[in-house]
Amino acid sequence: MAVRKEPSGRWRAVVKQGRRYVDGATFNTQREAKAWEQRQKAALAGAVDLAARKQPVRSLLLMWIEERKQTVATTTAHTDAAMIQRLSAAFTARAVGSVTDRDVQRVLNTWSGKYAEASVRRFRASLASFFGWCVSERCIESNPVSGSQVPRKDAEPGRMKPLTETELEQVAATIREFDERAADLVLIASWTGLRWSELRAITVADFSRVPVPVLVVRRAAPEGVAVKTTKGRRARTVPVADRVLRLVEACADGKAGDDPLFTSSTGARLHASGFKKAAHWKQSAKARRIHDLRHTAICLWLARGVDAATVQAWAGHASISTTNLYVQHLGTVADRAGLDRLNTPGHTGGTHGEEDGASNANTPGR
């Protein structure tokens, strides 16, 4: 290795292994050239192939994904593919050896502004696996993902946009003018709290009428992905309230046990794009997402006085803290009861019940 000054006044650093030329770079200052030289020395000491460091991320991703999909579950392979699709062209064009933890952190920050925290964590795990593979292939010395963190997203209750019962009925009535089944599905989703992927996966056999009408949620069927377990990775039971029992029974009529319970008005498998088109969603849904129907159900249960632990079980929340976000959004039953008491007419006295304007000898300052 050597650093020398070029006739142009810039500094040239050259790396060799024995007599074989490996790499070279030109810098504006001697300090930059020597720092680069030291990094190459460290890479050689770590048995890293310096030529491999210059390969673009894009080409290595293709090699990695081909090897990895033979050894991981289908859902993991889908996550890997989704992660690659979300990487920018500028990032994948970079030489793998030039990617730092700061570059990875910028990627995670960008993803965090677009996707849910759980999704970003899955993408980070895939990216970490890729760079770990690069380390094992002697392309880089260390994994740049190790020094990065997924930005935390506080699930603030204010971000929820559930419908009130009145708004729900208005939305359903508006959609019914365009498509009866779409309106029924809006009501069913808003009273059962099923995620869209769970709504697609429920079969007729999952609907039981005795001893009480319930839906057994065992699977999820995200669009474009194979059927998998629910988000909570365990089955749960969701009651079917009288308001939508007749609608669910109508969906089951004439179908076999293995048939999807909820289908479109033409009997086809549910797809969000088709559902939104049939429902004229943009003009009918009061600026809500389909997922807000799940928020609507959870808030509706709590507003009707169902305790948080039961709501947690119905919703399939892994932690009661998630359910409590909805409690904070609505206020507890005690909060509402206390407010009702405050608003009760006829009680205008102080804490000891004295009449308005009466003096209390024990009150300081009087």
User: How do residues 48-98 score in pLDDT, each as one tens digit?
Assistant: 666 677 889 999 999 999 888 888 888 898 999 999 999 999 999 999 988
Structure tokens at 129: 């696996």
Q: What is the mean pLDDT of residues 8-25?
A: 81
**Residue that is written with structure tokens 């409590």 in the block:** 324
Asked if residues 60 and 94 have their Cβ atoms less than 8 Å apart, the reply is: no
Q: What is the mean pLDDT of residues 123-127?
A: 94
> Would you list the domain boundaries of the chain?
2-45, 57-147, 159-338
- Could you tell me the CA-to-CA distances from 52 to 214, 340, 353 in Å, in that order? 58, 71, 83
Q: What is the mean pLDDT of residues 153-173?
A: 79
Pairing of strands 219-220, 207-208: unpaired
The pLDDT score that the predictor gives to residue 13 is 87
Q: What is the mean pLDDT of residues 159-184?
A: 93
The pLDDT score that the predictor gives to residue 45 is 63
Query: Residue 90: how many CB atoms within 10 A of its CB?
Result: 7
From edge to edge, which strands make up the β-sheet containing 11-17? 2-5, 11-17, 20-27
Q: What is the mean pLDDT of residues 122-146?
A: 90
The pLDDT score that the predictor gives to residue 365 is 46
DSSP-based helix, strand, coil % in the chain, nearest 5:
50, 10, 40
Asked if residues 259 and 269 have their Cβ atoms less than 8 Å apart, the reply is: no
Q: What is the mean pLDDT of residues 286-310?
A: 93
CATH fold, domain 159-338, is: hpI Integrase; Chain A (1.10.443)
pLDDT over 90 at 158, yes or no: no
Query: Which has more confidence, 330 or 248?
Result: 248
Whole-angstrom Cα distance, residue 225 to residue 126?
17
CA 365 to chain centre: 57
* Residue 43 pLDDT class (50, 70, 90 cuts): low
The pLDDT score that the predictor gives to residue 363 is 43
Task: Please state which architecture CATH assigns to domain 57-147.
Answer: Orthogonal Bundle (1.10)
* Residue 343 pLDDT class (50, 70, 90 cuts): confident
Structure tokens at 237: 């039971």
Whole-angstrom Cα distance, residue 238 to residue 216?
6
Torsion angle defined by CA atoms of residues 53, 57, 62 and 68, in that order, rounded to the nearest 10 degrees: 80
pLDDT over 80 at 22, yes or no: no
Mean pLDDT lowest among 142-146, 151-155, 242-246, 263-267: 151-155
Whole-angstrom Cα distance, residue 326 to residue 234?
22
**Residue that is written with structure tokens 């509706």 in the block:** 300
The closest of 342, 362, 343 to 352, measured between CA atoms, is: 362
What value does the mean pLDDT of the chain take?
85
Each residue of 218-236: b (16+ CB within 10 Å) or e? bbbbbeeeeebebeeeeeb
pTM, whole model, 2 decimals? 0.57
